[in-house]
Each structure stands twice: as C-alpha cells, then as structure tokens.
Amino acid sequence: MSLSSHPKAYGTAAVAVAFVVGVCVTLGFKDFYPELERRYQQSKRRTARKSSRRLSLATEADTARRRSSFFWGPVELEDHDDKADATPPHLLPPTAGPVVGIEGCIGNTPLVEIKSLSDATGRTIMAKAEFLNGAGNSPKDRVALSMIQAGEAAGLLVPGRGDTIYEGTVGSTGISLAALARAKGYKAHICMPDDQAKEKSDLLHHLGATVERVRVAPITSPDHFVNLARRRAKEHTADRRVESNGFFADQFESGANWLAHFNTTGPEIYYQTGGEISAFVAGAGTGGTISGVTKYLKEEAKLDDLKIVLADPQGSGLYNKVKYGVMYSATEKEGTRRRQQVDTIVEGIGINRITNNFNAGRDYITDAVKVSDEQACKMARWLVEHDGIFVGSSSSVNCVAAVAAAMKLPEGSRVVTVLCDSGTRHLSKFWKKVGESGLEEQEDTDDLFGFLGLSPAGK
C-alpha cells in the first residue's frame, strides 16, 4: 500500500521529516547562536540605559513628591556625559498617576525663559516660576511643608490634636502655612505687619487662619511680628487648659527653610538647565531660597564657576554687607527710614539683619545689585507689556538684578532667577504704585536699559 493511498501514514511521515529538518537546522546554526544572543542582550541593555536616563528626572521628582518629604536628602547626580541621550526637560513624560494631597502639588515648577529680557541682553535669562506651586502659590510652599515636617518629626506637631502653627510673616509664608495646616490637620495663627497689602491678610482669613496685624516695630522690640508669634506659641503650649501644642515655625532661623530649597529647588534648577548655568540671582528675606539653591549648586552639583548674585531692594542692608562688608549705610540707620523694617514698597525680600538661613549660603554670594522702587515698578510693567507675565514686587526686583548681572557676563551666558508670586497679591500696594506712577499709560518702549535706567555695560 502506498503512502498516497493512506492519509494517516502520510501525515506521520511528514511530521518525522519536519523533525529531522528542524534538528539539522538547529545543529547547523549552533555556532552562530551565542553571537546572536550576545548582540541581542547588548541591544537590550543599551535601550534600557537610554530609557532610564530619560525617565530618571521625572521618576525621581515624582517619587520625592509622592513621599511628600523634604528629608530624603539631596537628589543624587547622574552621569550626563552622553549628550546624545539627554532628553530636554520639556519633553520628559508627565508623572504617572495622581499626587496625594495638596502637598503633592508643591515643587517641579517650570523654568521659563523670559524672552524679552534674553533678546535685550544677548544672554539667556530664565526664571523659576515658583508662583505655580500648588498650595500657597509661592516658593514658601516648599518652606512651609519642610517646617511642618520638621515639627512632626520632633513630635511637636501631631495631626488632629488641635495643635496650632504660629508664624511671623509679611504674607507668603503665612499663606502657605495656612493652606498646608488645614490639609494636615492643624490650625494657623499668623502675625504680620500692618503695612502689608490687605489682600494677603484677607486671603489668610479665607484660608481659616487667625491673623494679627501689628504695628511695625524693630526686631529688638517684643512686639515685632516675629517675636509676637514666638510668644503666642509659648503661651499656647504653657496653657494647661488645653492638650494641644503651639508650634513656632521660625522661618527666619529654622534650618528646615534652606534645606527645603537645597533638597528640591536646587536640584530642579540643575536638571532643568542641564547644569549649564552662569549665574543664579535671587533676593533674600529669610535668606532660605538663595542659600539653599546656592549650596546645592555649589556643593552637590559642583558648579564652581557659578556666580551668585543677591537682588536687594532699597533700604535693605544686605547689599552693603555683600559689597562692602558692613550692614548699613548712612541712610539705613534706625531713625532715618520711614519704616522700621525696610524702607521700600517691595514686600517679601530685604532685611537689615543676618539670619541663620542667609548665613548658611552667605560665603558663596560674591555680588549684589541694588534695585530701586522705581526700577521694580518699571520691570513689573515691562514684563506685562512684553511677556504677559504678571508678578509681584520681589519678582520684579529679581528680574532687574538678573538683567544687571547678565550684562557683566559674556554673551550667550545663562542666568536663572525666581518669580516668587503673582501680582494679584500686590494690587492694593505695589501695583497701585505702578498705576499712580503713570507707567500703565506710557507709550511702550523697546529700550529696556533706558527704561530701567541701567547701563548696557552692566555697571
């Protein structure tokens, strides 16, 4: 009987032939297999390394944000020598999934190039958009969270016990503390000078905080807003009628302030610039921002050639301290100024004492720019007119100083500064002054240096 006349026998033979052919092919290629496997594994590892590098920034930032902690230490630097594999920050994938709580919206703010300033100076001027932090809309969100976590770690704050956070502030720190206090199960009691913009205290009230607006007094007075907040916290803790605690956040002296920027803002700026930054420019109120960012960029990122420039409003003594080693000029002595704190319309930066936070990074600050109220008002108007950026007084001071600092650097240099908060918090004072000065009715100009009264030579 032939195979063709018996289907079952034909099928069996076909399987046998296929098996034999398969064995022969396998034996024939056995010498080539190790090489093919080696090449496959190399390709797989290269792909994995590229993916890891591209996602490292977003993943690390997201992990830190999900932990909601500023005390996991600074971000570790990675090897970025392979420029071809580097992915621009704006092309990084979004963080996966939702964040937890309002504190999850703090950090990872954009770094924005201010095009009109770059075009005018021939240097790239960028600003960290800290007004986009999601709790209190300022860099103080980072600080407030850090100080609260420090209090919790020390057992001074316990959620749900009725504890109250006390702070003396001109506004932004109090707003951030008030927002986070509610979210984390605490109350907030804010002491602030009565010459600050009214919308700040109104906002604090709406956030559920107790607000004490007090007369302006020197820091040596027990009624200075910071000293009053400290006293209120002690009185709360000493009150045996309540089991809750009073926690004085102490933003001017607490190391949790500059550490917040050392652990978050500094690393973000480093990664967003790829480490290519010529100067960092910032004002100082508590000093936490300029010290924390500077210490990270200098000590961890090892940017030895980076210039650190202080932006200081009129009436503040820090400019003279940096430039000449003395705190006061003849016009800044007690009794010669209209205000006890700093004789300027600018809020949030400028001070006439050295805080622990400023001292932390003081040795790295090599230059300073004094900015007048008039220049601050003009810069605020310029940014609206040319870039659609609406910010407050401290941001305007930072931008004026960034322009001045940039002109002392070679063309093509990259300068980073900070946009602290929105102009909506400065309507009744700073922006009122802008309007009263007639700047909003003036014809637009493209001469930045003439408009600000700055020398193009940077002098």
Q: What residues are annotated to the active site?
A: 140
DSSP label at 105? G
Q: Which amino acid is at 403?
A: V
Encoding tokens for residue 131? 């007004």
For the residues of 387-416, what is the DSSP string, one character each? H---B-HHHHHHHHHHHHHHTTS-TT-EEE
Return contacts of 274-277, CB within 8 angstroms, 24+ apart.
Answer: 274/80, 274/86, 275/80, 275/301, 275/303, 276/414, 277/303, 277/306, 277/414, 277/415, 277/416
Q: How large is the greatest C-alpha to C-alpha distance in the chain, in angstroms?
A: 125
Q: Do the bridges between strand 187-193 and strand 246-248 make them parallel or antiparallel, or are there none, so unpaired?
A: unpaired
Phi, psi angle pair for 302, to nearest 5°: 60, 40
Rounded CA separation 241/202 (Å): 30
Torsion of CA 93, 98, 101, 105, to 10 degrees: 20
Encoding tokens for residue 320? 């003279």
Per the CB < 8 A criterion, the answer to whether 283 and 310 are in contact is yes
Encoding tokens for residue 308? 């650190």
For the residues of 71-98, what is the DSSP string, one character each? -S-PPPP-----GGG---GGGSPPPSS-
Neighbours of 202 (CB within 10 A): 12
